[in-house]
Amino acid sequence: MKALKKITAIASSVALASAMAACGNAGPGGGSDAKVSGDEIVLGVITDMSGVYSDLAGKNSVEAVKMAVADYEKKYGDKAVTDKIKVVSADHQNKPEIANTKAQQMYDRDGVDAIFDVPTSSAALAVANIAKQKKKLFFDVGAGTTELTGAQCNAYTYHYGYDTYMLANGTGAALAKAGAKNWYIIYPDYAFGQDMNKNFVAAIKKSGGNVVKSDATPFPNDNFSTFMTKAPGLNPKPDVLGTMQAGGDLVNVVKQYNEFGLKKKGIDLAVGLMFDTDIASIGVDALSGTQFTTAWFWNLDKESRAWADEFKAKTGDRPTFDHAGNYSAAMQYLEAVQRAGTDNADKVNGELKDHKVDDFFARNGTIRAGDHNLSHDAYLVKVKEKADMEEESDFTELVKTIPADDAFQSVADSGCSMG
């Protein structure tokens, strides 16, 4: 039976190859009865390899997807739908137009079946539109905007890992419930910051807290002293300063928060989005005890550590949640192809519909059919004391697991209508 299948596959691929040779430029998916278009599965990774996200995503995202391919091949061996799986990548340099062009090129010319990662929300939304147009799959991991699974959702785009709602809601609700009553929020004045602020405020209020004030700050900004001097003078005096800044601006905020000694004045720090790279930039001492929400961290448990070790052996770095998310997304995609027996996007879509995911990255995960968002357990974590660190990049420890249903916005609230 297996042999027969293989022969058919070879025969059809030969037929397809000769057909393609005849037409010269037929392109993939030429409507043959082959199980996989172009006789191979091609995964495309569009990411930022030179801009501000290159440490969080970048080359290592490509490596993560390649690891997923290797693990898939190992797992299924001869039973795999195809033994020809290729990974191609492009550096969008944080420019949405390059992401957009490369996505078209990947789907049209390189025979790419699914695109992964794509940090920067404008680039992600631009690729989502291409995916919709070309009816090919797109798994965004790197961007945070809820628009991908909200007003701008579409049937071929999945958001896999995290979004601004998850980040803000997790930290806001948990800390407000734990007794942080009065909040002063500062957020960078662009879409990401505005969304974080909106979701943070909502979460705090829902959990019985009070937002004394929230201020938009210039972006980018070097000097947050104004807000640091303002905080203690607010009425009522805030218990927590919630910062939604990211990257270099976050480093500025924390440096200046410490300079102004706000902690001693009884104002704690809560951070909207933080990566290990940020903690390394600021220094553990300056952040010890700070809580934030994350989609995953490498030292979460044995399974995660095992994968992180493998990742480190390949890249020399510890993975961020974006890297782990890309691995998981690629793996889930390949599993769905395996179940569908084809890489036809609509059939794979059917297999992903409300599919349950439970791997080291996504615990209790569901790829929700309603908005194509992956809901899974998120983690409220805090930065370790330096003395407790077991290795150089062992920065965080678990405070509390946020169950999948609480972690993500419900489908009903997402504002998505799958057309």
Partner 1 sequence: MIISRLMRSPTPLRWALLIVGIIVALALPWFIYPPVATDMIAWGLFAVALDLLLGYTGLLSFGHAAFWGVSAYTTGIISIHLGVPFYLSILGGAIMAALIAIPIGYLSVRQTGIYFAMVTLAFAQLIYYLANQWRSVTGGENGLQGIPRELFGLDLSDAFIFYYAALPVIMLGVFMAWRIVHSPFGRVIVAIRENPDRTRSLGYGIGQYKIVVFVLSAFLAGLAGGVFSTNHGFASLQEVYWTTSGKVVVMVVLGGMGTLWGGLLGAGIVVQLEDFLATAGVDANGIVTGTIFILTVLLFRKGIWGTAAAMRRPHKRTDPVRSDGEETPVSSARDGG
Partner 2 sequence: MNELLQQVFTGLVSGSFYALLALGLSVIFGMLGVVNFAHGAFYMLGAFGALTALNTFNVNFWLALVLVPVALGVFGMIIERSMVRWLTHLDPLYNFLLTFGLALILQDLVRLKYGVSSQPYSRPDALNGSLNLGLFNYPRYQVFVLVFSIALSVLVWLVLTRTRVGMIVRASTERPELTNALGINVSRWITPVFGFGVALASLAGVLAAPMRAVNSGMGGDLIIVVFAVVVIGGLGSVFGSVAAGYLIGMLTAVGNFYLPSVSQSLVFVLMALVLLLRPAGLFGAKEGIS
> Which positions touch partner 1 (CB under 8 A)?
49-50, 59, 88-93, 95-98, 100-102, 104-105, 109, 121-122, 125-126, 129-130, 133, 145, 147, 152, 189-192, 194, 219
What is the rounded CA–CA span in Å between residue 48 and residue 98?
A: 11
The partner in contact with residue 20, picked from partner 2, partner 1, none with C-beta cut-offs of 5 to 8 angstroms by kind, is: none
Q: 8 or 133: whose CB is closer to partner 1?
A: 133
Rounded Cα–Cα distance for residues 304 and 57 (Å): 18
Contacted by 283, from partner 2, partner 1, none: CB < 5 to 8 Å by type: partner 2
Q: Tokens in use for 42?
A: 């091609």
Could you tell me which stretch among 19-27, 251-259, 357-365, 367-375 binds partner 2 (CB under 8 A)? 251-259
Rounded distance, CA 304 to CA 324, Å?
A: 9
Residue 359: which of 277, 289, 300, 285 has the closest Cα?
300
In this structure, what token pair is assigned to residue 235? 């009425």
Tell me the sheet residues that pair with 367. Answer: 355, 374
Q: Does 417 bind partner 2 (CB under 8 A)?
A: no
Give me 377's structure tokens: 């357990």
121 binds, among partner 2, partner 1, none (CB under 5 to 8 A by kind): partner 1
167 binding partner (options partner 1, partner 2, none; Cβ < 5 to 8 Å by kind): none
In SS3 terms, the chain reads as CHHHHHHHHHHHHHHHHHHHHHHCCCCCCCCCCCCCHHHCEEEEEEECCCCCCCCCCHHHHHHHHHHHHHHHHHHHHHHCCCCCEEEEEEECCCCHHHHHHHHHHHHHCCCCCEEEECCCHHHHHHHHHHHHHHCCEEEECCCCCHHHHCCCCCCCEEECCCCHHHHHHHHHHHHHHCCCCEEEEEEECCHHHHHHHHHHHHHHHHCCCEEEEEEEECCCCCCCHHHHHHHHHCCCCCCEEEECCCHHHHHHHHHHHHHCCCCCCCCEEEECCCCHHHHHHHCHHHHCCCEEEECCCCCCCHHHHHHHHHHHHHHCCCCCHHHHHHHHHHHHHHHHHHHHCCCCHHHHHHHHCCEEECCCCCCCEEECCCCCEEECCEEEEEECCHHHCCCCCCCEEEEEEECHHHHCCCHHHHCCCCC
Nearer to partner 2, 22 or 387 (CB): 387
Residue 311: CB minimum distance to partner 2, A: 17
Among 252, 290, 299, 338, binds partner 2 (CB under 8 A): 252
Which residue in 230, 347, 355, 382 binds partner 2 (CB under 8 A)? 230
Partner whose binding site includes residue 291, from partner 1, partner 2, none (CB under 5 to 8 Å by kind)? none
Q: What would the x/- binding string for partner 2 be over residues 4 to 43, using CB under 8 A?
A: ----------------------------------------
Q: How far is the CB of 77 from partner 1 (least distance, A)?
A: 31
Residues in contact with partner 2, counted by CB under 8 A, come to a total of: 37
Nearest approach, Cβ of 106 to partner 2 (angstroms)? 25
- Compute the least distance from the CB of residue 401 to partner 1, in Å: 30
Q: Which of 202, 251, 399, 411 binds partner 2 (CB under 8 A)?
A: 251
Instruction: Tell me which stretch binds partner 2 (CB under 8 A): 83-91, 134-142, 168-176, 241-249.
Output: 241-249
Identify which of residues 126 and 348 has a Cβ nearer to partner 1 in the complex. Answer: 126
Pairing label, strands 291-294, 378-383: antiparallel
Q: Minimum CB separation from partner 2 for residue 277, in Å?
A: 4
Residue 263 lies near partner 2 (rule: CB under 8 A): no
Residue 251 Cβ, how far from partner 1 at the closest point, in Å? 20
Q: Which of 15, 19, 280, 418 binds partner 2 (CB under 8 A)?
A: 280
Q: Does 248 bind partner 2 (CB under 8 A)?
A: yes
Nearest distance from residue 269's CB to partner 2, in Å?
Answer: 16
Q: Does 222 bind partner 2 (CB under 8 A)?
A: yes
* Per CB under 8 A, 266 contacts partner 2: no
Give the binding site for partner 2 (CB under 8 A).
50-55, 189, 215-220, 222-223, 225-227, 229-230, 233, 247-249, 251-252, 255-256, 259-261, 277-278, 280-283
